[in-house]
Amino acid sequence: EADIYQTPRYLVIGTGKKITLECSQTMGHDKMYWYQQDPGMELHLIHYSYGVNSTEKGDLSSESTVSRIRTEHFPLTLESARPSHTSQYLCASSEFSTGNYGYTFGSGTRLTVV
């Protein structure tokens, strides 16, 4: 069963629209991440957070922004969508302090900007 939820699963939207991709986890993990992945390609870290009110940019430059007001919620926002933003966006969370270092991933949001 999924403990990390992403909505929507699929989104087709017009250029210039503002969108927010939702990610929530029920595991109480401090650390959360957003990855961008083109089909069949590698994962690129675009944002991460180590706790409430903490956000950092990842290795891949992105025009998106994130917020972390609550532990369980880590939404990603695109103020003005463009066709170059078409991709799959994966949210993940982890908790190192328990000794279980694995990331748990959501099912992803497949975004298409037309």
Partner 1 sequence: GQQLNQSPQSMFIQEGEDVSMNCTSSSIFNTWLWYKQDPGEGPVLLIALYKAGELTSNGRLTAQFGITRKDSFLNISASIPSDVGIYFCAGRTGNQFYFGTGTSLTVIP
Residues within the interface to partner 1 (CB under 8 A): 6, 31, 35, 40-43, 45, 50, 59, 90, 92, 94, 96, 100-108, 110
Nearer to partner 1, 18 or 58 (CB): 58
Could you tell me the smallest distance in angstroms from the CB atom of residue 43 to partner 1? 5
Nearer to partner 1, 40 or 83 (CB): 40
Could you tell me the smallest distance in angstroms from the CB atom of residue 12 to partner 1? 15
Nearer to partner 1, 20 or 107 (CB): 107
The DSSP annotation for 20-76 comes to EEEEEESS--SEEEEEEE-TTS--EEEEEEEETTEEEE-SS--S-EE--SBTTB--E
d(CA 74, CA 89): 13
d(CA 8, CA 84): 19
Could you tell me the smallest distance in angstroms from the CB atom of residue 80 to partner 1? 26
Chain centroid offset of residue 113 CA: 17
Q: Across-strand partners of 105?
A: 92
Nearer to partner 1, 72 or 95 (CB): 95
User: Is there a contact between 39 and 88 (Cβ–Cβ < 8 Å)?
Assistant: yes
Could you tell me the smallest distance in angstroms from the CB atom of residue 75 to partner 1? 17
